[in-house]
Amino acid sequence: MKDSPVCYSVGALLYSPANNQKIADDIVCGRFGDKYSVALCLEDTIRDNCVPQAERILVNSLKKIHESKKSKEFYLPKIFVRVRYSKQIQTIYHDLDDAAGIIKGFIIPKISLSNIDAYLNSFLSVSRQTDNELYMMPILECEDIIDPSERISVLSGIRDKLCTAEQNILNIRVGGNDLCNAFGLRRHQDETIYDIRPIADILTDIIAVFGRDYVISGPAWEYYSGEGWDTGMKKEIAMDIRAGFIGKTVIHPNQIKIVNEALMISESDYNDAKAIVGWDSDNLVAGSADCSRMNEYKTHYRWARKVMHLAEYYGIRKD
């Protein structure tokens, strides 16, 4: 699934509580621009006793977007519903009725070996009943993956379970703040999540287990205003990319532009990637277009494919 271009298209995933009654109008009027995705959350952002009401508001919002699209041109982002339990997948999808095609899929919180079967069964049941292309994005954030003596076993077990729906797994996502919460930690705007060493170790293991098969998105950056918030976010995204993460959960519209700019590909990387993907020489090694580094087809092909996918969605910047 990682080789599919659509996996690289989620980019900046803007979170909003599902009971946000303005979200439909914001999307229809283009408030957030034309390069972002949306997660409507029924889980941590909603009080337990408010879930039924939030479900109704969510369904009404999505139906409003669906109806608006029939008569008005506007950018329709990829929309995902973050559920809080497995049966909610079926409930929400069926309640949407004709508007079900407006969503791209479901986000699964706190995925673990204890709940993954129920989530997979519910998702695959809905997926089989529709011709709509549906995706699933599980979030690695539960405390099961914190203990280093068990982490690799748990992560590998989750990965193996996901194989039954691999073609429907758009991204693997990471709940950085949930993982920090387990230790009672929180980064400041001049720090990155990689400065919190216990969390950095978990992120490294997630990349090691899932990174060859899936696109994995970086954790949310919680600052969106005040001195230094944007500098800190840019620094963390740069480290995300070096670590192997693509895209980022965002919690405020101010953050969208920063993510999109960070995902742009440098001109030199694009030229090298294009040459590698279109290799037509008997020799499998050659100098780069600017004669600054060595390109090797067998060594750099996967990198080149990723670069080409990102360039398609986010564009190319001058060196």
Q: How much is the pTM? A: 0.96
Alpha helices, DSSP H, located in the chain: 23-28, 51-71, 87-96, 116-128, 148-162, 176-183, 197-210, 229-243, 256-262, 267-277, 297-314
Residue 24 C-beta-side C-alpha neighbours within 13 Å = 17
Final residue in a domain of this structure, among 263, 289, 304: 263
Q: How many domains does the chain have?
A: 2
Looking at the structure, tell me whether residues 272 and 291 fall in a common domain: yes
Looking at the structure, tell me whether residues 23 and 163 fall in a common domain: yes
Looking at the structure, tell me whether residues 67 and 102 fall in a common domain: yes
Please, what are the averages of pLDDT over each run of 10 residues along the chain (319 residues)? 90 98 98 97 96 98 98 97 98 97 97 98 96 96 96 98 96 97 96 97 98 97 97 98 97 98 97 95 90 94 96 94
Bridge partners of 137? 107
| Cβ 155 vs Cβ 210: under 8 Å | yes
CATH number at residue 125: 3.20.20.60
Give the span between the Cα atoms of 181 and 266, in whole angstroms: 36
Looking at the structure, tell me whether residues 302 and 254 fall in a common domain: no
- The pLDDT score that the predictor gives to residue 76 is 98
Looking at the structure, tell me whether residues 75 and 88 fall in a common domain: yes
Looking at the structure, tell me whether residues 54 and 175 fall in a common domain: yes
Give the structural domain span for 42.
5-263
Looking at the structure, tell me whether residues 295 and 163 fall in a common domain: no
Looking at the structure, tell me whether residues 164 and 280 fall in a common domain: no
- The pLDDT score that the predictor gives to residue 1 is 66
Structure tokens at 313: 């969605």
- The pLDDT score that the predictor gives to residue 297 is 95
- The pLDDT score that the predictor gives to residue 289 is 83
Final residue in a domain of this structure, among 226, 244, 263: 263
Looking at the structure, tell me whether residues 153 and 300 fall in a common domain: no
- 17 three-class SS: strand
